[in-house]
Amino acid sequence: MFDNFTGMAEPMSDTPFVAVEGLHFARGDKEIFRGVDMLIQRGGITAIMGPSGSGKTTLLKLIGGQLMPDAGRVLIEGQDVHRQSRKALFSMRQRMGMLFQSGALFSDLSVFENVAFPLRVHTDLPGTMVRDLVLMKLEAVGLRGARELMPAELSGGMARRVALARAIALDPELILYDEPFVGQDPISMGVLVQLIKRLNQALGLTSIVVSHDIKETLTIADYVYVVADGQVMAHGTPKSLDVDQDPRVSQFVHGEPDGPVPFHYPAVDFISDMLSPGGPR
């Protein structure tokens, strides 16, 4: 897989910012990853896509060092995430921001305090400076006016934007987005798409977007990995994937209901199931 990969495409620029090499991970008896290799370039937006349940969130947790892989390694700027001491890992994480699926705002803190949280924990900045920084970040996501609200008072889209402001509070170099578009109405979806793109350009970030919302993701991604069955099924620029001939890839990219990924959960033949007398329901 790995050899195949390096031969196929040398995307964008020189050394990768994040490198995932031969990653294996199993939860209980279920194998989630069976040798995943990825190279993520500095300064771009890399999308990791795949059907639900293909372990995309798990992949982000592995990159963030919250889970230990069974085999393989994750390198960030050449340093193995899983070989760090607890302290070094925590300082590594200060250079990463992560936007969770649910927003994961601290429910007992106001919007302002949520965004201020990383600043207060990791810096000794005076109060006025913290205030300025927080207002800047909130302005960037357009929610400066909502700073006194509590997370419970926000809509889903607003909560995710606040979480984004919190994720960029410490000016990280890498941001991991976990399903940023799930469950959003078209307007807030558009807002988020714009935000991710704009922030990436304005702050010179490296972004990894995990998503199964194909259309939105393909409009902002520079490079795409499609993950299925615990392996990288295809990768390339959005354009090249769009014309990919692999039936599995085209099914996913074009959102066809049935194809190599079956619509039906494995079952006995429908007719014989219907005609079978009695038995358990």
Partner 1 sequence: MIQRIRRLGRRGCDLLEAFGRAGIFLVQSAVGLPSREGLYLWVRQMHFVGVLSLAIVLVSGLFIGMVLSLQGYTILVDFGAEDALGQMVALSLLRELAPVVAALLFAGRAGSALTAEIGLMKATEQLTSMEMIGVDPLRRVVAPRLWAGFVALPLLTVGFGVVGIYGGYLVGVDWLGVFEGSYWSNMQASVDFIDDVGNGIIKSLVFAVVVTWIAVFQGYDLVPTSEGISRATTRTVVYSSLAVLGLDFVLTAVMFGGLA
Residues interacting with partner 1, by CB under 8 A? 61, 64, 66, 90-91, 93-94, 96-98, 100-107, 117-118, 121-122, 163, 166
State the nearest-atom distance from the C-beta of 154 to partner 1, in Å.
13
**CB of 50 or CB of 64, closer to partner 1:** 64
State the nearest-atom distance from the C-beta of 101 to partner 1, in Å.
7
State the nearest-atom distance from the C-beta of 276 to partner 1, in Å.
31
**CB of 94 or CB of 237, closer to partner 1:** 94
State the nearest-atom distance from the C-beta of 98 to partner 1, in Å.
4
State the nearest-atom distance from the C-beta of 96 to partner 1, in Å.
7
**CB of 103 or CB of 236, closer to partner 1:** 103
In degrees and rounded to multiples of 5, residue 171 shows phi and psi of 50, 65
**CB of 61 or CB of 248, closer to partner 1:** 61
**CB of 61 or CB of 131, closer to partner 1:** 61
Distance, CA of 35 to CA of 150 (rounded, Å)? 42
Considering Cα of 184, then 189, then 193, then 198, what sign does the dihedral take? negative
